């Protein structure tokens, strides 16, 4: 089928999502199979306004800079099409540019969006091949062993825990005694759990709180007090989505994004307040927020390699005529770490959340077995260009 290939970035970004973009563009340009190659500017939101980058004649050598850039270079969005009229408008824009191949790169809500585009296209009789490309630091997409972006954020966080712990340890004699760090993780504790890797170099984190395990305030304070008695300092990792025993979020705001997700924030501060008021010790709180998902200076090389491979696989599936699927990463073994790529129907992914398995969760802690899962995803380094040299980024302007 002749036509235009369209690629878009959606949802929260990662430090390696642009590596996926490079994989897509480099593979597509090499194939010479598409009439045009377009990249959405700010995802579906921008493309419906006619905003895009035409990469049909791009120089692959200049595209290599994408491997080194965090964030979503082409712009992301949180656009959620809900009614038939919106999809009808989208297909009109698709028709205008003869879009017949669509790759959408994102997390849970983005895969739901890709699924809807695939299903609505069939309803409206619009011929198009849709493939989803996974991306999320939360690592909560189902049907894949893990998601591009997770390994690098995990690395950023466990390194931060090491460094923050050494800081609080050095100050604990007569100053700060507890260091609290809040990680992302709305519904699942994959990121908070990854900080267990810091124990290869220090005794921290001493407490890890995840959404899958309700918080008992009394037991929590007893544990922190016990660590303080033994070590003189304590590092606590808390996921933003932790809940109390009644199932209520410890902290949430009244704001919602366009996907309908409640904006979270302040869980770390609430935990810190709980400690300081009850144990009468000085607490320091860190909220990495965007830093943990865009920390390109400590990117995992393995994560970057897989992110690029996912983009290439997406193009290959388009050329094979595989429709309505998401690329998946399959793990063959841990030692040595062996992986390959596959795919799964988008209908099995959209609207579902992959929680941290119970076998990895202990009492306010994470099991040693989890290390075998997460460690291979954080291996290797690839310094970004802005630590060594400069590039002219204007080559992508429309």
Q: At a CB cut-off of 8 Å and minimum separation 6, what does 205 contact?
A: 161, 165, 181, 195, 196, 198, 199, 235, 236, 237
Strand 36-40 vs strand 283-286: parallel, antiparallel, or unpaired? unpaired
Nearest to 294 by CA among 22, 144, 140, 76: 76
**58 Rama class: left (phi>0) / alpha (psi -120 to 50) / beta:** beta
Measured between alpha carbons, how far is 205 from 365 in angstroms, rounded to an integer?
Answer: 9
| Phi, psi of 103, rounded to the nearest 5 degrees | -115, 120
- Tokens 């080194």 correspond to 68
Q: Catalytic site residue 35?
A: no
Distance CA 193, CA 354 (A): 14
Buried b (16+ CB within 10 A) or exposed e, 126-155: bebbbbbbbbbbbbbbbbbebbbbbbbbbb
With vertex at residue 120, the alpha carbon angle to CA 119 and CA 123, rounded to the nearest 5 degrees, is: 95
Closest by CA to 9, choosing from 46, 37, 35, is 46
Distance CA 32, CA 36 (A): 9
Among 26, 138, 140, 365, the one annotated catalytic: 138
Q: Are 44 and 9 in contact (CB under 8 A)?
A: no
Residues identified as active-site: 138
């Amino acid at each position: 089928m002749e036509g235009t290939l369209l690629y878009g970035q959606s949802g929260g970004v990662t430090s390696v999502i642009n590596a996926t973009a490079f994989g897509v563009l480099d593979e597509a340009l090499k194939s010479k199979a598409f009439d045009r190659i377009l990249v959405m500017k700010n995802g579906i939101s921008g493309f419906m306004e006619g905003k895009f980058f035409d990469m049909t004649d791009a120089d692959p050598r200049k595209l290599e800079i994408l491997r080194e850039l965090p964030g979503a270079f082409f712009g992301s969005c949180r656009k959620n099409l809900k009614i038939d009229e919106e999809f009808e408008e989208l297909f009109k824009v698709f028709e205008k540019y003869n879009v017949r191949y669509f790759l959408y790169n994102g997390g849970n809500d983005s895969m739901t969006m890709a699924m809807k585009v695939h299903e609505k296209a069939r309803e409206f009789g619009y011929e198009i091949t849709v493939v989803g490309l996974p991306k999320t630091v939360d690592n909560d997409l189902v049907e894949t062993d893990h998601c591009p972006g997770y390994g690098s954020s995990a690395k950023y966080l466990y390194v931060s825990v090491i460094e923050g712990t050494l800081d609080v340890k050095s100050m604990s004699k007569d100053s700060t005694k507890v260091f609290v760090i809040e990680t992302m993780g709305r519904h699942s504790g994959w990121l908070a759990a990854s900080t267990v890797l810091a124990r290869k170099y220090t005794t921290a984190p001493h407490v890890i709180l995840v959404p899958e395990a309700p918080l008992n305030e009394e037991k929590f304070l007893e544990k922190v007090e016990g660590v303080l008695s033994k070590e003189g300092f304590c590092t606590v990792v808390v996921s933003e989505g932790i809940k109390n025993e009644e199932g209520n979020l410890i902290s949430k705001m009244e704001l919602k994004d366009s996907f309908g997700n409640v904006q979270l924030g302040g869980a770390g501060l609430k935990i810190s307040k709980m400690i300081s008021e009850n144990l009468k010790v000085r607490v320091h709180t860190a909220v990495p927020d965007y830093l943990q998902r865009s920390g390109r200076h400590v990117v995992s090389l393995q994560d970057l390699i897989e992110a690029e491979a996912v983009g290439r696989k997406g193009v290959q599936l388009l050329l094979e005529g595989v429709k309505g699927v998401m690329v998946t990463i399959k793990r063959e073994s841990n030692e040595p770490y062996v992986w390959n790529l596959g795919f799964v129907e988008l209908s099995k992914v959209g609207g579902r959340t992959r929680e941290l398995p119970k076998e990895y969760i202990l009492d306010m802690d994470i099991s040693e077995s989890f290390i075998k899962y997460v460690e291979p995803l954080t291996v290797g380094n690839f310094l970004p260009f802005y630590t060594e040299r400069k590039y002219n980024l204007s080559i992508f302007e429309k």
